[in-house]
Structures are given as C-alpha cells and as structure tokens.
Amino acid sequence: MNKPAELKDRRIIASSHVKLGQKNRKGQAYTDINDIFYKAEQKPSFLTGSEVIKEAIRRASVGTSVAYPITPQSEAAALIGELYAEGYLDEYFRGESEFAVMGQCAGSAFGGHRVFTTTAGPGTLRAIENFPMWAGSRLPIQVCVTCRGINSPLSIQPDTLEMHYLLEAGMLVWHAETAQDLFDFILKGFIVAEQPDVHVPLATCCDGFFVTHTKDTVNLPSDEMCLTPYDPYKSPVPCMDMETAPIRMMRDPFVMKSNYISYSTHASWQQEIHAAVERSRKHTIALLDGLIDEHNTDREILIVSSGTAVSQSREAIRLLEEEGIKVGLVKIKTIRPFPYEEIRQVTKNAKHIFVPEFNVVGWLAREIKATIPDNERVYVGPHVAGGMTMPSEVIAEEIKIHLGMKTSTAGK
C-alpha cells in the first residue's frame, strides 16, 4: 500500500488540460491525478488483480484497447471489453496475434488515442519487435505485462524472465508488487508516459496469478473521477491525423540504410529515447513517491527485490525477526529507469545483499551488481522458476545458510 504523503509535495505534474473539471459521456469528471490519489477518499474493495486492471482503466479515459487471449491476462483483457461495451472506451477489438495487436495499438496511438493493452510470456516475446518500434515512434502506449513462463517448455505460471527481454526496448518498465501497486501504476503511468519530455511507451509488469488471480484489499478512489484525456498535440512528434502541418511528414522516416547522415540520425534518435526515459525519473519520483521503497536499510543484511518477491521477502523478514535476525528491505518499483543512485545509497551499510527472483537467470541481481561497489556482497538468489511459489521459509533459510547460521529445515 502507498504511504500517505503531503499534497504540497505533489504538485509537480499538475494538469493544464482544457477539459479539467468537465464531465465525459459517462458522467465522470476529468480530474487532476494528484487530486485522484491524494485528495479524494480511497475506499477499500476486495478484488483480484484482473478486476483491479478493469477498475484502473475505467478511470483512465482510454481511447483504444486491443485484446488477445493468453493466460493469465485474458480475464483482464475481456473485462476491458466490458468497459468498452458500457461506453468507457472509444474503440476495442480482438486482434489476431500479439504481433498484430501491438501494431493495431500503434496505429491508434499514431492517430492520437490513449492506448492500453495487455500481454504475457510467449505473447510478450511474440510482440517484442513492436516495443522498440513504439519507443522510437514516441508512442506512449501502456502495456500491462502479467509475467509468466516463456517456452520452451510451456508454463502458464508466474515467472519474471520475460521482463529481462524488455530492458533495452527503450520503454519505461515498472514492476508492481501488489494489486494496489498495479492500480496506482496504471493510472500514474499514463500521466508520466504522456509527459511531452518523456512520451515513450510503458510496460507495467505484475506477476501472473500471484497478482492477477489473487483477491486482495485495494483502496480505490470513486469511479466518478477519471484521468484528464490524452492530448496528442502535446506530443513531441506530430500526430498522424492530417490536422497539423507540415504535411510532408513521415513517421518514422525511412533513412537510407547506409550513409553517415542515416547513421547519425539513427544514433541521435536512439539517444533521445534513452534521454526521454531518464527524464521520466523526476515525474516518477514525484508520483510514485520514489523509485524505491526502503525499510531499515541501516541494517547489515538486506533484501533487495521487485514484484511478488518483495511480498515474500516481507514475510521472510517477519520470520527472521522472530529469531532475532534483523533484515532490511528495499523494494524496487521501476526497473527502467533503474534507480542507480538510490540503490547505491541504501546498500551502503549492507554486508549481505540478497536478491530473490522468480526466474532462473537472476537478471535483477545482475543489474544491482553492475551498479554498486563491492558487489561480492550480492547473493544471487534465492531463485524459483517455471512458476513455482517462493515460500518465505525458503528465503529465510537461504539467508541463514549463507550466513552460516543453524537452520531447521530438516524434514520440512
């Protein structure tokens, strides 16, 4: 759950949209994001992650969503269809493959709509050629990635390996821990991604089943408020609607494949995308209250993680506390942009840094090791993969074994 914060610290991305205060065809009032989260009353509901995605999109003034079935995001995608049938979205349809869906999303974004879609695992990989294309075309599309195993072999269960493939696509990549995070990140994500100095796509990741299919308490603002609409004319590149000169405009321009002009155009364009992701930091820090959350980071033993692994770590820390072992926790909320400075700061005192992950390669540990000095302090793991659960007991035991303490796993 988010920490409550003073409103006076929050007004960095205040909306100046002309429609602020007006009502849409569903009677919802276009509301500044700061008011939605920090002024309005938040009421508890008991919902699954899929239902939470629906509730977020209900308040998100989305123009187009395109859907395709794949576990575990099919429910969410279909629920968005229900919103469309009720009049909350302008356009919605089922595409024929994830590769096609992402292209259809791109077309809508080129035409000036706020676009949302979802995918998972094999679908993410099927779609992946589109993600750097979105980024290079400056399309602030949001894709909710409900992490699951990648073939081969096939596993529909949660696994975050797919996130590693997104890291260099030029997109923002945020990792939600809970359904509450997911709700918050989806709405705040549109606002950050659509900033004129950012304007790149966003992947809001959450772990399949652990979040999508698990019922949990979430605090939601009234659905009589919704985000201010996307303004395509605040984009740093022209909208493809033949409403703005210049008319001789091609997106993305096909630069001749081989000469110095095309190389430098390509290189500088890519640098601009990377700069845009960097520029999102200040907006994200303001809206998400920091790129990381930290608890007791003065301690010598730290767990640093993201997503569900953080939830499991919270439980593990409780267990260890009962035995008198004091462990601090760092929750990473954004993988891109990566919180380099923050991680360096909070790990300063740590002698042992554990990075539990739901994947077999340990990509998050790799990112952390590349960031901090004396990185032999990092213990890569524990890991589970293929969709396995990571019991908090396992985390606690790994920590104790690594520290040479007596363990009690015999027979468990």
Shortest Å, Cβ 136 to another protein: 10
Provide the 3-class DSSP secondary structure of residue 334: strand
Among 151, 152, 153, 247, binds another protein (CB under 8 A): 247
Q: How far is 207 from 8, CA to CA, in rounded Å? A: 33
Q: Does 198 bind another protein (CB under 8 A)?
A: no
Q: Which stretch binds another protein (CB under 8 A): 15-23, 91-99, 142-150, 364-372?
A: 91-99
Q: Does 260 bind another protein (CB under 8 A)?
A: yes
Provide the 3-class DSSP secondary structure of residue 18: coil
Q: Which stretch binds another protein (CB under 8 A): 31-39, 96-104, 158-166, 273-281?
A: 96-104
- Residue from 235, 333, 331, 229 nearest 284 by CA: 333
Nearer to another protein, 262 or 297 (CB): 262
Q: Which of residues 31-70 bind another protein (CB under 8 A)?
A: 63-64, 66
Query: Kind of pairing, strands 42-48 and 215-221?
Result: antiparallel
Shortest Å, Cβ 132 to another protein: 10
Q: Does 127 bind another protein (CB under 8 A)?
A: no
**DSSP secondary structure of 192-232:** HHTSTTT---EEEEEETTTTTT-EEEEEEE-TTEEEPPP-G
Q: Does 86 bind another protein (CB under 8 A)?
A: no
Beta-carbon neighbour count of residue 402 at 10 Å?
14
Write out the H or E segment, with its range, that includes residue 342. Answer: helix 340-346
Write out the H or E segment, with its range, that includes residue 45. Answer: strand 42-48
**DSSP secondary structure of 130-196:** HHHHHHHTT---EEEEEE---SSS---S---HHHHHHTTSSSEEEE-SSHHHHHHHHHHHHHHHTST
Q: Does 252 bind another protein (CB under 8 A)?
A: yes
Among 30, 84, 110, 185, binds another protein (CB under 8 A): 110
Q: Does 241 bind another protein (CB under 8 A)?
A: yes
Nearer to another protein, 108 or 178 (CB): 108
Cβ atoms of 37 and 221 within 8 Å: the answer is yes
Q: Which stretch binds another protein (CB under 8 A): 179-187, 189-197, 236-244, 375-383?
A: 236-244
Q: Does 262 bind another protein (CB under 8 A)?
A: yes
Q: Does 99 bind another protein (CB under 8 A)?
A: yes
Shortest Å, Cβ 10 to another protein: 31
Among 3, 25, 248, 412, binds another protein (CB under 8 A): 248
Q: Which stretch binds another protein (CB under 8 A): 150-158, 178-186, 250-258, 267-275?
A: 250-258
Q: Does 130 bind another protein (CB under 8 A)?
A: yes
Shortest Å, Cβ 131 to another protein: 11
Residues 6 or more apart whose Cβ sits within 8 Å of residue 34? 7, 10, 11, 13, 14
Shortest Å, Cβ 253 to another protein: 6
Beta bridge partners of 209: none
Q: How far is 336 from 190, CA to CA, in rounded Å? A: 15
Beta bridge partners of 227: 31
Q: Does 22 bind another protein (CB under 8 A)?
A: no
Beta bridge partners of 94: 67
Shortest Å, Cβ 107 to another protein: 3
Which residues of the chain form contacts with another protein (CB under 8 A)?
A: 63-64, 66, 90-91, 93, 95-97, 99-113, 115, 129-130, 133, 137, 238, 240-245, 247-254, 256-260, 262
